[in-house]
A = this chain, B = another copy of it.
């Protein structure tokens, strides 16, 4: 069994040498199994481990017995054990969360605290293959897509890892029996009032008896396959998102060209835009995605109302995702970043969707400077700047002396000439030196700060859109 877990760890790249792993230890069979397996493998994997137990104060004396059991077990093994007590009932009422969610939040807050204070880099949780099968069935019944059917991931963000996700509950139970570990049993696991337990105690056994003896592994194999499909589709959609979605302050724009792409990807991009715009975990339904797709075929000005205070509008074929009540008057909410000239030496600034990077180059020579690097890499004469550098959105009355011209031109006229829609103009960042416009980013630079053969200190500015 150690071999099985070891190859699962390797196949999924869960653990690296010198990892400091904190084991989430409830005291039940799964976490006790996980503790012992990682303990046995700690030298082979070259890791250090510790455990953390949160007493939820939920099941009276039982909870304290769990706590004592966990502490004693760790002591016997010579493993450090962090323990904390939180009144989940009180926290749940206070935060208006279900006691399950409240417990989860409290646990992860506790784990994160230890990671930070004690220098651990990973949290190991004890989900097993049966948990996986139950999760998949639960999501299937509640309604899901490819992502949900992928179930629990072997790891998340290279921080939370699930090394025994490959073991069935039976394997876990046999292991703890064989090693006389006497884990604690949570009696509520046998009460069918919880949905999870209905799947565990009714649905899976029925399927096993009538359809497939190997149902748990079958569902696990399916999830693994679907995770791969989903990861690939997500990667492709991330590319489309960056290509077709503009995130402005108060609204997002989804360019009409996206609707020529694969429906499967477009749906993902629309869902991502909605979730990201509404800054919540609200799960937009298939029908909402479908409504937006239909909206793109409708006339300009047509609006659909979506849940969670969001609506979508057709603007000449593009889709604007915005807030229901708010009018799209962007000028009311402006941001500006101002940097002193002295603070500019190798510096990175984030402005909305953009990452702007400054660096200084000494002297103009062809090896270090390539003026043809596209619309998002530009060079300026640093010595022409007096005091400060700022990044802001456009303002009424903005003017620039475009490169190669002698007189100034209104920004508005440049935008009109280039046929940039009104609302998009609000999203374009503008780089100013001493309050004068040096670069309408991606659009035009100013004559005033251009390089000459005499330039000695050169400011290089690289602008990138933030990734997905």
* Chain A residues packing against B (C-beta within 8 Å): 138, 140-146, 149, 195, 198, 202-203, 206-207, 210-212, 215, 218-219, 221-222, 224-226, 228-229, 231-233, 262-265, 267, 286
Docked complex Cα distance between A179 and B140 (Å): 35
Chain B residues within an 8 Å CB radius of A207: 141, 203
Among B211, B219, B228, point to the contact of A264 (Cβ < 8 A). Answer: B228
Docked complex Cα distance between A264 and B264 (Å): 15
Chain B residues within an 8 Å CB radius of A232: 233, 262-265
Chain B residues within an 8 Å CB radius of A215: 141
Instruction: State how many angstroms separate the Cβ of A27 from the closest Cβ of chain B.
Output: 29
Residue of B nearest to A210 (CB): B198
Q: Is the CB of A222 within 8 A of B264?
A: no
Q: Is the CB of A140 within 8 A of B219?
A: yes
Q: Is the CB of B146 within 8 A of A226?
A: yes
Check A206/B202 contact, CB under 8 A, given A141-B218, A143-B218, A144-B222.
Answer: yes
Docked complex Cα distance between A200 and B265 (Å): 33
Among B195, B206, B218, B267, point to the contact of A142 (Cβ < 8 A). Answer: B218
30 A-B contacts (beta carbon < 8 Å):
A138-B211, A140-B140, A141-B207, A141-B211, A141-B212, A141-B215, A142-B211, A142-B218, A143-B212, A145-B226, A146-B146, A146-B225, A146-B229, A149-B149, A195-B211, A198-B210, A203-B203, A203-B206, A203-B207, A221-B286, A224-B286, A225-B267, A225-B286, A228-B263, A228-B267, A229-B233, A231-B264, A232-B233, A232-B263, A232-B265
Chain B residues within an 8 Å CB radius of A206: 202-203, 206
Known interface pairs A198-B211, A228-B263; 14 further A-B residue pairs with C-beta atoms within 8 A, sorted by A's residue number: A141-B211, A141-B212, A141-B215, A143-B218, A198-B210, A202-B206, A203-B207, A206-B206, A224-B286, A225-B286, A232-B262, A232-B264, A232-B265, A233-B233
Instruction: State how many angstroms separate the Cβ of A441 from the closest Cβ of chain B.
Output: 34
Instruction: State how many angstroms separate the Cβ of A59 from the closest Cβ of chain B.
Output: 24
Chain B residues within an 8 Å CB radius of A141: 207, 211-212, 215, 218
Instruction: State how many angstroms separate the Cβ of A383 from the closest Cβ of chain B.
Output: 49
Instruction: State how many angstroms separate the Cβ of A201 from the closest Cβ of chain B.
Output: 11
